[in-house]
A and B are shown apart, each in its own frame.
Chain A
């Protein structure tokens, strides 16, 4: 098997990957469909378990109570007779729609989305990521939303879209015209606003780079589960990304709620 594939799988199993490494891994896995993606992760898990005491520390009672409540909500929502939405990871009721709009900066930037022409997903054959993105776009329950300018010059001429599936926790971003970045000075970072989370704390979707020219497709790897994505935002941040964005430089936005009307 490819040596680089081994390296990336080992790194993923031990310390994790950044967005560009993740994209590289996905591309290599597509070329090596027989590879057991989780084999090294299972080895690492067993090594981690070997470092625990034979009888691990018990769950704190309050946490166990929350886990039981989460499970009750999950199974209630999953039962055929239930019509309620899936519960959030934190077991709380989803907040009202458009809660994310509380951020005035995001609102102002999102308002321009209507001016953008919706682009059809490319029909021609393309790289593996394009094929994966196209398959996801055709899957039931997935959403596809065009990017809109976010106010920063880097995104002023962007075309493209984002496709995402809450059920699969999988997504891809497609860009044309996003200004190439110098990774030593700044990187793009994706944020996913989730109906189950406070607007002040969107899910970090990872950092990525854009080279000169052509179409770029970036797989999304949300660092936390996303129950119902409402807005995708790409900001310009320092190399490596940030934990909390100042939201001073918003390159592009894609509002699921606005697109769904």
Chain B
């Protein structure tokens, strides 16, 4: 019996669909709502993302990252493409307001996956905190809030070229930090 949901999906286990939607449905929906202003666009995108998950579940490689990271990587790629094709920016309303519109509130009692159980979020946040402040700010604007380089430049008041540089170097630095042994990143002798 495969350990991972995606391995079960790849093996044709239809019962794994419910487990997959329980674990990853909420987070894919949340990512879509952050990156796409229009609810219909977000719903279409989520359908496309899960179709890709059904088709490409066999590409998951546990040696390269966690299952939730695989799902989020696939989802973000599709969302970025869709946003570029729509030529639209994320909405201006608050994330909280968008989350409340047309969706159920989070209910920890339901079997949806808790992120901290699937990914070492503290480690990611420590890595972010290790960036230079301006790099961290730009990375968070572009990746977490889903702004374009131009929008991030407007938001921060930094020149566009500087924003691009911070986004690129910040991401590369994050990769280095996340590839370090955990103890080293936390400042504890390995």
Flag if B31 contacts A48 (CB, 8 Å). yes
A66 CA to B29 CA, complexed, in Å: 13
A-B contact pairs, 23 of them (CB 8 A): A11-B164, A15-B149, A40-B171, A43-B174, A45-B72, A45-B76, A47-B124, A47-B174, A50-B144, A51-B144, A58-B103, A58-B104, A59-B21, A59-B103, A67-B25, A67-B46, A67-B47, A67-B50, A68-B18, A79-B12, A90-B47, A223-B82, A224-B81
B16 nearest CB neighbor, chain A only: A71
Flag if B144 contacts A47 (CB, 8 Å). yes
Judge if A75 is at the interface, Cβ distance under 8 Å: yes
How does the 8 Å CB contact mask read for B33-63 relative to A, with 1 for contact and 0 for none?
1100000000110111011101100000000
A54 CA to B124 CA, complexed, in Å: 14
B92 to chain A, nearest CB (A): 17
User: Binding site of B, secondary structure by majority: helix, strand, loop or mixed?
Assistant: helix
6 pairs of A and B residues whose beta carbons are closest in the complex: A51-B144, A223-B85, A56-B26, A45-B72, A10-B168, A58-B104
Judge if A78 is at the interface, Cβ distance under 8 Å: yes
How does the 8 Å CB contact mask read for A16-54 relative to B, with 1 for contact and 0 for none?
101000000000000000001011111111111111111
Judge if B139 is at the interface, Cβ distance under 8 Å: yes
Residue numbers of A with Cβ under 8 A of B are: 6-7, 10-11, 13-16, 18, 36, 38-61, 63-64, 66-68, 70-72, 74-75, 78-79, 87, 89-91, 203-204, 221, 223-225, 240-243
* B83 proximity list for chain A (CB < 8 A): 16
B107 to chain A, nearest CB (A): 7
Judge if B134 is at the interface, Cβ distance under 8 Å: no
Judge if B4 is at the interface, Cβ distance under 8 Å: no
Flag if A63 contacts B85 (CB, 8 Å). no
A91 to chain B, nearest CB (A): 7
* B178 proximity list for chain A (CB < 8 A): 43, 46
Give chain B's interface residue range (CB within 8 Å of chain A). Answer: 35 or more
* B103 proximity list for chain A (CB < 8 A): 57-60
A240 CA to B85 CA, complexed, in Å: 10
Apart from A49-B121, A57-B99, what are 19 other A-B pairs with CB-CB below 8 Å? A10-B171, A38-B73, A42-B69, A46-B178, A47-B140, A48-B72, A49-B68, A49-B124, A50-B125, A57-B29, A58-B107, A58-B110, A59-B104, A63-B46, A67-B50, A71-B54, A89-B51, A225-B51, A243-B87
Flag if A44 contacts B26 (CB, 8 Å). no
